[in-house]
Chain A
């Protein structure tokens, strides 16, 4: 008997939910806003699907409807990736510790 590859993916999915659960609980509340912006950026890894869709087919008919939707998704995801990571970077750079008291 062979196991359907779907079951493997499902296992990865379920285990990742648990990893996410424990990792996110350990995020300090003061960083919840950067958490949202960074999760936003990484969920744009959906661009992978967009790239495959956009580049599919013969180079001659690259403007098939399916390709065009792929290209559109690339723009959207790219805005998110750059915007998300950079704004997170900008926020995190602001979190500073107290300067040591001058003696």
Chain B
């Protein structure tokens, strides 16, 4: 057994190590060390907890076995998962944190003595509030992440599911939750506690179904934030500093990421959460599309253009992830570089299905990270570049965001692709992107459409280079 004070100091140390883990991510060089700090912090927290529990008996054996089982599953997933599936993986992991928070809250509720919270039926009010908040947020995180996972995996349609009075229903459920927590504190009746958990499960589903596929970066960041707040709630219940610090870190991290993602779309957080975007008048838009002339080309044209260019900027988007075209893309860039062409990559903050999605895929394809630039860093370079190669991106390049106040994406920061001398746009068809609006760029004189699968087209270009 170690003293409670010593234990608290150890938890503080792991909290600090977790801060350093996040701090390390400020640059790729320090990031690997940061991750190591995180692992050490976790090892300390787990180690001292087991030592302080002190009973190296049957329970300890089960604990080891279960941790090994869980660890083996986690390790297997971590090494097997393809990088393109990273958004689903993160959503899946969030759901586990949420459910774990619910389970810990349940055992604290059933057996409060072990955490010094009072006795069943007579739990301290503050602890009761903390544990029911932790359980509620955990439950919302769990079912919300499951829905996000299903949508990202394509098992469930990515299109928003909306029905009449949806937001009022959610609001009502939220208010009911608060009332239930109040009654639980007053009466200490356990059925209220179970009802809170069940309603929160339901609320998690209802909150995420109206949000469409391309808004997933916001959803994932938001659920990331929730999982943090759930952990913090449990941390207060268990009076554990490591959990409180971590919960606060994760909570604010997720909140900042959601903010960055919303800003990347020029939409308010509530606008995204309330869901449904431009889904209404898509049919009328589709009609007007077919009348405008479009220049289309083949791989040879594209190869010719790029070979004779002095600088090329690549604009990847979700389509590149779907087609798994990142490796082919790198090969194409290598071939171009051999011809003395300067190639850089431009990444929009909301490209892909989660924050930083494109960067990971490019890194996987061995693209050096100092050739990859964010929107603000590179946007002025389009004016001086010969060819912009847009692969799987759409809405984030639409110049209408700057010119048409009527457009739903008006004001969204976009990559100024149209300023480059010529634009190569790899896309399977002229269909509009997620926002449901036509991309003006398709009809510009300097645009050459390459109608094909992103990967096939890129491979063909490599051949003709």
Q: Using a CB–CB distance below 8 Å, which chain A residues touch chain B?
A: 5-6, 9, 12-14, 16-21, 23-57, 59, 62, 64-67, 69-99
A46 neighbours in B (Cβ, 8 Å):
97, 100-101, 104, 231, 234, 243
Complex CA distance for A9 and B103, rounded to whole angstroms: 22
Contact check, A81 vs B90: say whether CB atoms are below 8 A apart: no
CB of A33 within 8 A of CB of B63, answer no
Query: In the assembly, what is the distance between CA of A92 and CA of B32, in Å?
Result: 6
Question: Does B178 sit at the interface, judged by CB under 8 A?
Answer: no
Partner of A24, one of B14, B81, B244, B252: B252
A71 pairs with B62, CB closer than 8 A: yes
Q: Between A and B, how many residue pairs show CB distances below 8 Å?
A: 376
Given A36-B220, A62-B58, A20 contacting B248 (CB threshold 8 A): yes
User: Chain B residue with minimal CB distance to A66?
Assistant: B111
* B67, B89, B355, B369: the one within 8 Å of A95 (CB): B369
A95 x B19 contact (CB < 8 A):
no
- Count residues on chain B whose CB falls below 8 Å from chain A CBs: 115
- In the complex the two chains form, is A77's CB within 8 Å of B96's CB? yes
Which chain B residues in 222-276 approach chain A with CB under 8 Å? 224, 227-228, 231-232, 234-254, 256-257, 260
A40-B104 in contact (CB<8A): no
Contact of A59 among B42, B55, B370 (CB under 8 A): B55
Most buried by B among A31, A43, A93, A95: A43
The one of A17, A35, A44, A64 in contact with B25, judged by C-beta atoms closer than 8 angstroms, is A35
Binary A-proximity of B6-32 (CB < 8 A = 1, otherwise 0): 000001001100110111011110011
Taking a contact as CB atoms under 8 Å apart, the answer to whether A82 and B90 are in contact is no
| Contact assessment for A33 and B31 in the assembled complex, using a CB-CB cutoff below 8 Å | no
- Contacts A27-B22, A54-B59, A82-B70; is A66 near B107 (CB within 8 Å)? yes
Inter-chain contacts of B221 with A (CB < 8 A): 36
CB <8 Å contact, A74 and B111? no
Bound form: Cα–Cα A42–B18 in Å: 7
Task: State which of B73, B81, B228 has its C-beta within 8 Å of the C-beta of A43.
Answer: B228
Is the Cβ of A39 less than 8 Å from the Cβ of B74?
A: no
| B2 in the interface (beta carbon within 8 A) | no
Cβ 8 A contact of B114, one of A28, A45, A53 = A53
B155 CB-CB contact with A under 8 Å: no
Is B172 an interface residue, CB under 8 A from the partner?
Answer: no
- Complex Cα gap A101–B133 (Å): 56
**B162 within 8 Å of A (CB atoms):** no
Chain A residues near B281 (CB, 8 Å)? none
Q: With contacts A48-B46, A69-B110, A97-B368 known, what are 6 further pairs, Cβ within 8 A?
A: A13-B247, A26-B26, A27-B26, A43-B97, A45-B246, A65-B107
CA distance A30 to B369 in the complex (A): 8
Tell me, yes or no, whether B340 is within 8 Å of chain A by CB.
Answer: no
Instruction: Report whether A86 and B14 are in contact in the complex, using a CB–CB cutoff of 8 Å.
Output: no
8 tightest CB-CB pairs across the interface, nearest first? A78-B70, A32-B356, A83-B74, A82-B74, A16-B248, A66-B111, A32-B355, A20-B252
CA distance A43 to B21 in the complex (A): 12
Given A13-B244, A76-B70, A28-B25 contact (CB < 8 Å): yes
Which one of A33, A53, A56, A99 has the highest number of Cβ atoms from chain B below 10 Å of its Cβ?
A33
In the complex the two chains form, is B42's CB within 8 Å of A85's CB? yes
Contact partner of A66 (CB less than 8 A), chosen from B93, B97, B110, is: B110
CB closest residue in chain B, given A59: B57
Identify the interface centre among B31, B103, B106: most chain A CB within 10 Å of its CB.
B103
Q: Is the CB of B35 within 8 A of A89?
A: yes
B49: A residues at CB distance < 8 A: 48, 51-52
A91 touches B360 (CB 8 A): yes
A9 and B14 within 8 A (CB): no
Q: Tell me whether A62 and B59 are in contact in the complex, defined as CB-CB below 8 angstroms, given that A30-B359, A47-B100, A74-B67 are known contacts.
A: yes
15 A-B pairs whose Cβ atoms sit less than 8 Å apart in the complex: A12-B244, A29-B355, A30-B363, A33-B86, A33-B357, A35-B253, A36-B220, A40-B227, A49-B238, A49-B240, A66-B108, A67-B59, A69-B104, A75-B69, A91-B86
User: Are B69 and A96 in contact (CB-based, < 8 A)?
Assistant: no
- Bound form: Cα–Cα A35–B74 in Å: 18
Question: Chain B residues with Cβ under 8 A from A50's Cβ?
Answer: 100, 103-104, 107
Q: Report the minimal beta-carbon distance from A47 to chain B, rounded to whole angstroms.
A: 6
Indicate whether B212 reaches chain A with its CB closer than 8 angstroms: no
Contact of B111 among A30, A53, A98 (CB under 8 A): A53
Question: For window 97-130 of chain B, which residues contact chain A by CB distance below 8 Å?
Answer: 97, 99-101, 103-104, 106-108, 110-111, 114-115, 126
Complex contact A70–B38 (CB within 8 A): no
A21 to chain B, nearest CB (A): 5
Tell me which of A34, A89, A93 has the highest count of chain B C-beta atoms within 10 A of its own C-beta: A34
Instruction: Pick the residue among A5, A27, A48, A74 that contacts B45 (CB under 8 A).
Output: A48
A82 to B245, CA, bound (A): 20
Q: How far is the CA of A33 from the CA of B25 in the complex (A)?
A: 10
Report Cα–Cα, A97/B372, bound state, in Å: 11
